């Protein structure tokens, strides 16, 4: 009757997270090598052989690098919408027909004992999505790689027990940093990535302080610092009169190593 959630790795070097319920063992994205994902899974006592399926948010390499390898090696079904399938086909390689599962953006689908809603986000990919996962009375929302979060998205993710949300960059660090201008422009655009401040603003509008778990994700190595992301978001939330780490649990998802396994 439990819901387990663990970020295996988060950031532009590779994204992958693991969810476990009574009946399902699910990987959301697999943006590292197959070997690396296997190692990270076994570091938390999970077994790649037992994976029920892989959900994909979008076709960027930092989200799909190991998806094809794992699917072929362990005969794992992959779920993605049609445009994402088109976009990632050449990257992930040949997938067995029976393991190609096509979902529709904006429509709930059932995955074992979970009800899942893939919803549109704003990012420069074919049809990128966030996932809202419902399991019994638990709701968890995954929302990274989005240039902004509109009211519709806030409505969808509101009321979650766990938020896995992007805090990609500090705007000042990005603007003053050494990235070329076209890349800065891409990241700052409404189809780029969410800044610490924007992430904090979104959270401050939807959190209630009832013990939610908030995991800040996809932090840029170049244009952010974990402490800066944490403090910026904390300040936004506390402005709303919610005491972080008394009324909710705010922490960070790491690059290339897993978080603790959150049990809900």
Which stretches of the chain bind Zn ion, using CB under 5 A?
Answer: 60, 62, 145
Least Cβ distance, residue 242 to Zn ion (angstroms) = 28
CA distance 67 to 141: 21
Please compute Rg for the chain using Cα positions: 17
With respect to Zn ion, which residue has the nearer C-beta, 72 or 186? 186
Please name every residue paired with 20 in a beta bridge, in sequence order, or none if there are none.
4, 25
**Least distance (Å) from Zn ion to the CB of residue 126?**
11
Between 16 and 161, whose beta carbon lies closer to Zn ion? Answer: 16
Compute the least distance from the CB of residue 253 to Zn ion, in Å: 12
Measured CA to CA, the distance from residue 251 to residue 164 in angstroms comes to 10
Alpha carbon distance, N-terminus to C-terminus of the chain: 9
Q: Do the beta carbons of residue 24 and residue 16 sit within 8 Å?
A: no
13 neighbors 41 (Cβ within 8 angstroms): no
Give the residue with the Cβ less far from Zn ion, 8 or 114. 8
Smallest distance, Zn ion to C-beta of residue 146, A: 9
Closest CB 140 distance from Zn ion, rounded Å: 19
CB-CB contact of 229 with 215 (8 Å): no
Phi, psi of 43, rounded to the nearest 5 degrees? -65, -20
Hey, what's the torsion of the CAs at 153, 175, 57, 197, to 10 degrees?
-30
- Closest-by-Cβ residue to Zn ion is 60
* Of 62 and 198, CB closest to Zn ion: 62
Instruction: Please report how close the Cβ of residue 75 comes to Zn ion at its closest, in angstroms.
Output: 26
By beta-carbon proximity to Zn ion, the closer residue of 12 and 161 is: 12
Q: Which is nearer to Zn ion, 126 or 213 (CB)?
A: 126
């Amino acid at each position: 009757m439990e819901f387990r959630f663990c970020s295996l790795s988060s950031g532009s070097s590779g994204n992958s997270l693991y969810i476990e319920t009574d009946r399902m063992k699910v990987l959301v994205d697999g943006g590292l090598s197959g070997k690396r994902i296997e190692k990270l899974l076994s570091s938390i006592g999970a077994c790649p052989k037992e994976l029920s399926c892989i959900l994909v948010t979008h076709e960027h390499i930092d989200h799909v690098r190991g998806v094809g390898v794992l699917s072929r090696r362990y005969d794992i079904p992959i779920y993605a919408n049609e445009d994402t399938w088109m976009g990632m086909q050449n990257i992930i390689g040949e997938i067995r027909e029976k393991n190609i599962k096509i979902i529709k953006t904006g429509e709930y689908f059932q995955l074992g004992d979970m009800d899942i809603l893939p919803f549109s986000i704003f990012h420069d990919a074919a049809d990128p999505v966030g996932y809202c996962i419902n399991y019994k009375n638990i709701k968890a929302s995954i929302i990274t790689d989005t240039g902004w979060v509109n009211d519709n998205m806030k409505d969808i993710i509101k009321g979650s027990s766990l938020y896995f949300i992007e805090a990609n960059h500090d705007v000042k660090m990005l603007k003053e940093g050494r990235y070329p201008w076209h890349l800065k422009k891409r990241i700052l655009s409404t189809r780029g990535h969410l800044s610490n401040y924007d992430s904090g603003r979104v959270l401050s509008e939807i959190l209630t302080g009832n013990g939610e778990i908030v995991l800040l994700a996809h932090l840029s190595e170049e244009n952010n610092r974990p402490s800066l992301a944490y403090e910026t978001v904390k300040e936004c939330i506390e402005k709303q009169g919610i005491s972080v780490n008394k009324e909710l649990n705010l922490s960070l998802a790491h690059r290339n190593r897993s978080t603790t396994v959150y049990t809900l």
